[in-house]
Amino acid sequence: MTDTMRAAMVPEAGADFEVVEKPVPDPAPDEVRVAVDACGVCHSDVFVKEGTFPGVSYPRTPGHEVVGHVDAVGDDVSMWSEGDRVGAGWHGGHCHSCEACRRGNFLQCENAEITGLTFDGGYAEYATVPAEAVAAVPEDLDAVDAAPLLCAGVTTYNALRNSDASAGDVVAVVGVGGLGHLGVQYAHAAGFETVAISRSPEKRDLALDLGADHFVDASERDPAEALQELGGAKVVLSTAPSADAIESVVGGIGTDGDVVVVGIPGEPVPVDIQHLVGTAGSVSGWGSGDARDSQDTLEFSDLRDITPVVERFSLDDVDEAYDRMVSNEARFRAVLDIAGDD
């Protein structure tokens, strides 16, 4: 291998990407170096690009949907070997010693690292990642398909499997986009009676193809009423980052139902508390998962042939990939195909 690599970096908050040639990083004793095959472009990369997250230092290479193979191993790492096919997601490592870590809740680590935010991520030919933040990637999954599963996939899969829904329960997914088109597939594969809710009637056929049993066109009818006709939802997974969309489904939950929000709106959400009291229901939030959660997501996706709908870009086309993602035009996840650049 050569001593230098290509990387797309943000020189300072709000600046344009620069694709530069820079030294290949060496892994610290507790890290592995990943030769990156593909990296997804996620809406949370806006935090890095625009500097809207506290504590990002620049220049910084974003990217927290990283798939590749281990190409060098730090001296203290025993769980990974050169050649292992691996990925890294948003959760970029934990301290093992804070209160949350001592209770085994690594996602809530007070000193958690974030891939592509507190350290350089996967918009590059190589990235170094803490060993505990690495997930094994099944051989059969294409790197470009696997990348979005490390963020959009694990977020929806983990939110559903940590909910109270059981096979046969009515589970609705609000929004058929980057997160929602995966949420519908996971809900179907988990055996739920799956309802896709969208304000875009043209998403109907896709939603049904992805495994939805019902499609509710929320531009036409009240989604809460539609869910009540089905007996009330046990879980509504809300992926649409819209306060109106969240407010409009709270009335659709049945007894002990839960609206689980994974798409974060920019403003507060008014909620019908009377309905929550009447159903003993709740509105809650969920964010991603740790490396083992990511690996579970990848393994289940492989088992059930669940893949994202993606648009591929080369590293040189990072601006176009980012613009399509940020303008919500990408169908449905933009991915940098870095190995394909050769």
Contacting positions for Zn ion (CB under 5 A)? 42, 44, 94-95, 98, 101, 109, 151
Question: Which pair of tokens denotes residue 25?
Answer: 């990083």
CB of 90 to Zn ion, least distance (A): 5
Nearer to Zn ion, 175 or 257 (CB): 175
3 Cα distance to chain centroid? 32
CB of 275 to Zn ion, least distance (A): 31
Question: Which pair of tokens denotes residue 189?
Answer: 């594969």
Nearer to Zn ion, 102 or 312 (CB): 102
Nearer to Zn ion, 151 or 249 (CB): 151
Query: What is the C-alpha to C-alpha distance for residues 20 and 17, in angstroms, rounded to an integer?
Result: 9
- Please calculate the CA angle 92-41-135 and round it to the nearest 5 degrees: 35
CB of 159 to Zn ion, least distance (A): 14
DSSP codes of every residue in 114-181: BBTTTB--SSBSEEEEEGGGEEE--TTS-HHHHGGGGTHHHHHHHHHHTSS--TTSEEEEE--STTHH
Nearer to Zn ion, 24 or 325 (CB): 325
CB of 23 to Zn ion, least distance (A): 27
Query: What is the C-alpha to C-alpha distance for residues 277 and 338, in angstroms, rounded to an integer?
Result: 51
Nearer to Zn ion, 156 or 248 (CB): 156
Nearer to Zn ion, 101 or 298 (CB): 101
Q: What is the 3-state secondary structure (H, E, C) of 7-60?
A: EEEECCCCCCCEEEEEECCCCCCCEEEEEEEEEEECHHHHHHHHCCCCCCCCCE
CB of 201 to Zn ion, least distance (A): 28
Query: What is the C-alpha to C-alpha distance for residues 218 and 200, in angstroms, rounded to an integer?
Result: 8
- Please calculate the CA angle 234-276-160 and round it to the nearest 5 degrees: 30
Query: What is the C-alpha to C-alpha distance for residues 20 and 318, in angstroms, rounded to an integer?
Result: 12
CB of 148 to Zn ion, least distance (A): 8
CB of 88 to Zn ion, least distance (A): 12
Nearer to Zn ion, 27 or 130 (CB): 130
